[in-house]
Amino acid sequence: MAIHIDMSERDPTFLNSESTDIAADLAAIQPRLYGFILKRLADREQTLEVLQRTNLVICEKADEFSQGSSFVAWAFTIAKFQVMAWRKSYQRERLVFTDAVSELLDRSPEAEAAAVDRRIPSLRRCIERLRTADQELVKRRYRDGEQIQHVAKILGKSVDVISMRLMRIRRQLADCVAVSLKTSDGNLGDAS
């Protein structure tokens, strides 16, 4: 499929120097935006579609961003509205969560950013404590972006077996991070 966008219909300053900065910031936070949206939609394909809508709106509203404030929180606010719009316009039966559950999962963009920020240093240390084979699996899955089906094929295992291993690793990491945040509370501060 050919991908084309007619830039002539856009604001000629669409990618000026400030927008280039925004583009760099935007590229840097793509993983964060992806995680933010996935949390609310629980579906990879829908997440990717809303992520791209969010990217477009961020580009269009780039000049509304106040330099010096949190770009992540600002982008999360836009993503939040895009998720809401998506939920309104999309086929209800394809949404994973009901409105009630969606509200339960909702947090402010600032709290969302802080909840993840505070985990990253601990998570890095926790990854290093995994068994070598588990570290390798995490790297294949996350660093190298290999899909689980591909990993299963390479390792000669079923998708379910690899999925189960990843589930155990995720639980191990979650427990490790929880302990780390609890024991180092004074060090990391309460970011939430």
Partner 1 sequence: MRDQLLHEVDELVSRMIEGLLTDEERQRLNRLLSDFPDAVKCYQELLDNHEALCAIYPGDLYESLNSVEATLTPVTQSNSHVNVESHQGRLRGIAIVASLASVVALLLLSIIPTLLSSDDKMIATVTDLSGSHAWTGDRGEIVRDISVGTQLAGGTIEGMAPDSWFELQFNDGSKITIAGISVLTFSDDGQKILRLREGQLTADVNPQPKDRPMLVHTRTALMEVVGTRFDVQSALASTTLNVSEGRVRIRRLSDGSEVDVPENHLVVADGENRLVPAPVPHSVYKWVSDFESKPDNYGKWKPASPNRPASVKAISLIPEDAPHVTLHLAGLSVSRSDGATVVVKPGARFVVRGRIETETPVYFGIRVNDPDGEFAGMFRGDLQEDQPPVRRSEAGEFTETYEVAAFSVDPAVWDKRHKLASRPDHMVLDGVWAFTHSGSPSGLEIIEVQLLPPEVE
Number of amino acids touching partner 1 (CB under 8 A): 79
Question: Site for partner 1 (CB under 8 A): which residue of 87, 110, 134, 146?
Answer: 146
Per CB under 8 A, 132 contacts partner 1: no
Question: Site for partner 1 (CB under 8 A): which residue of 1, 12, 64, 92?
Answer: 1
Per CB under 8 A, 48 contacts partner 1: yes
Per CB under 8 A, 174 contacts partner 1: yes
Among the listed residues 64, 55, 61, the one whose alpha carbon sits nearest the alpha carbon of residue 37: 55
Question: Site for partner 1 (CB under 8 A): which residue of 11, 56, 63, 154?
Answer: 56
Question: Site for partner 1 (CB under 8 A): which residue of 139, 154, 158, 161?
Answer: 139
Per CB under 8 A, 84 contacts partner 1: no
Question: Site for partner 1 (CB under 8 A): which residue of 73, 123, 130, 155?
Answer: 123
Three-state helix/strand/coil letters over the chain = CCCCCCHHHCCCCCCCHHHHHHHHHHHHCHHHHHHHHHHHHCCHHHHHHHHHHHHHHHHHCHHHCCCCCCHHHHHHHHHHHHHHHHHHHCCHHHCCCCHHHHHHHCCCHHHHHHHHHCCHHHHHHHHHHCCHHHHHHHHHHHHCCCCHHHHHHHHCCCHHHHHHHHHHHHHHHHHHHHHHHHHCHHHHCCCC
> Toward partner 1, which CB reaches closer, 52 or 84?
52
State in angstroms the smallest separation of the CB of 75 from partner 1.
13
Question: Site for partner 1 (CB under 8 A): which residue of 11, 13, 27, 133?
Answer: 27
State in angstroms the smallest separation of the CB of 149 from partner 1.
9
Per CB under 8 A, 191 contacts partner 1: yes
> How far apart are the C-alpha atoms of 74 and 77, rounded to whole Å?
5
Question: Site for partner 1 (CB under 8 A): which residue of 73, 130, 155, 159?
Answer: 159
